[in-house]
Chain A
């Protein structure tokens, strides 16, 4: 690689978005360089646990035979916690334990590294341990390459695909983000705890490669966010997602919030004796459409977390699938632009079109109000207690008292939790419009 060398496409970032972009572009015969700042793809990446890989059907047929999966999620629970109560909605289906499957747990360093190998097999040149430190632009401002920390640093390309993650300094440098607001991000922290496979199978009620994903609300010590517990083959992951702007206000550190979650009676029994194998942290672009950048500029596209394509909608928490899809579409748009000889924003417009016409932006448009609702103070701090109390009174046998009616319980517990009726109705409507 020399100063003058130019390729068709540079993909910055060897995560799911970058690798899918590189696979698509390289398979079409374009010259592709895939840059990864870690020692191997996936080495900088962590997440909250479940990947939904169906979007890979068209790239890697029978991906499920090849992918480094820990467990197939056949049991999905949503848990509402208060300090002393837990209400769980628990669903399981054997259908998700066989092809084509639904969600899977995986270690991202394994999964991302696996996916990047398909890019290399398609002819992309993977350069690891290479940090991009800025964009190369021509006099008109069009992106014409990147500057790296390699000795022969500059690399030119007709199209740059910025899949450089949640902090995307490239998208910011290109002026695609209007501003960066801490309120739009959450911080995910997680412990991976080692336990024998048999113990995990027994505690979580699964067999073989079946796995469990538990999403939790109301366990984050007054900091808006949520928690999760999920099973790998011989480890259990436990973590929390926290609104960064609320941490300082509560004077609670992330590891303290995980520690409290781990001692909750509903969680402690699941992870008892687990030895911490790895602690990790990552930012999540949580605000959906509200925070999304312009996706295209002259000579450059933005994909994955770099484009804030992460769906944080409470009952749906997805990111890797949005990254893979946006990477694929960025690759396709780059092919069109290179072949047509027009890599301006207009020549790359096929990208925005594909995002708009598929689940990538359709899901985000439909659920545009969900992230704010899920992280709102009422959903976070008032409803968990109210709901848990309602259920506790429903199932409590208070003889010789007769059973109270449900309406009375609901009314009394709503008042006790300090929830105004009109707020409850309004939130229910917002939820119904989003999820309905």
Chain B
């Protein structure tokens, strides 16, 4: 699947985005991580390696699945919470 196709695929799901991020990633800790499990495993492809060796996380299209904190090997790198009530992903046909 090409990147542009996957962007379309992700746009098929509804997200009610809260102004505050429910998951916070400490890129400084990620800079020391060589395995980067989150980058491969996040089903929404929200973990993006940066040029300076860190990782940025985009919370807007998060499925709230929990895969990232499960596979993460760096203590303290991911602070994981559910979004505020009523916000986040809203499924309809799944």
Contact = CB atoms under 8 A, between A and B. Distances in A.
A131 B67 CA distance: 19
Given A38-B86, A276-B12, A282-B65, A248 B40 contact: yes
A129 B36 CA distance: 33
Interface stretch (A16-24, A180-188, A323-331, A396-404): A180-188
Contacts of A109: 90-94
A256 B1 contact: yes
Interface of A: 37-39, 42-47, 107-109, 128-131, 133, 148-150, 166-167, 180, 182, 185, 187, 189-192, 232, 235, 237, 244-245, 247-248, 251-256, 258-259, 276-283
Give chain B's interface secondary structure class: loop
B51 to A, nearest CB: 20
B89 interface: yes
B5 to A, nearest CB: 8
Contacts of A180: 70
Contacts of B94: 45-47, 107-109, 190, 192, 237, 278, 280
A39 B16 CA distance: 10
Nearest to B45: A253
B10 A247 contact: no
Nearest to A275: B12
A255 B91 CA distance: 18
A278 B40 contact: no
Nearest to B9: A279
B18 to A, nearest CB: 11
Interface of B: 1, 6, 8-10, 12-13, 16, 35-37, 40-41, 43-45, 63-67, 70-71, 81-86, 88-94
Nearest to B1: A259
Contacts of A191: 9
Contact of A248 (B9, B37, B83, B91): B37
A232 B93 CA distance: 9
A130 B85 contact: yes
15 contacts: A38-B88, A39-B90, A43-B91, A44-B89, A128-B86, A131-B85, A148-B85, A182-B71, A244-B41, A247-B71, A255-B1, A258-B1, A277-B93, A279-B12, A279-B13
B37 A283 contact: no
A258 B45 CA distance: 14
A131 B84 contact: yes
Given A253-B45, A255-B45, A283-B70, A38 B90 contact: yes
Contacts of B12: 276-279
Contacts of A247: 37, 40-41, 71
B92 A252 contact: no
Contact of A107 (B70, B88, B92): B92
B85 A252 contact: no
A149 B66 contact: no
Given A167-B66, A187-B41, A283-B65, A149 B85 contact: yes
A131 B44 CA distance: 22
Contacts of A133: 81
B36 A248 contact: yes
Nearest to A164: B82
Nearest to A256: B1
B41 A254 contact: yes
Given A44-B64, A248-B36, A149 B84 contact: yes
B50 to A, nearest CB: 18
Given A46-B91, A251-B40, A129 B85 contact: yes
Contacts of B83: 37, 131
Given A131-B84, A255-B1, A279-B10, 5 more contacts: A108-B91, A187-B67, A251-B40, A255-B9, A276-B8
B35 A192 contact: no
Contacts of A276: 8-9, 12
A149 B9 CA distance: 31
A189 B85 contact: no
B87 to A, nearest CB: 8
B65 A281 contact: yes
A417 to B, nearest CB: 28
Contacts of A130: 85
Contact of A235 (B66, B71, B93): B93
A22 to B, nearest CB: 18
Given A131-B82, A148-B85, A248-B37, A280 B13 contact: yes
A277 B14 CA distance: 11
Given A108-B94, A187-B41, A150 B85 contact: yes
Contacts of B9: 191, 255, 276, 279
A279 to B, nearest CB: 5
B48 to A, nearest CB: 12
B21 to A, nearest CB: 14
A281 B86 contact: no
A182 B70 CA distance: 5
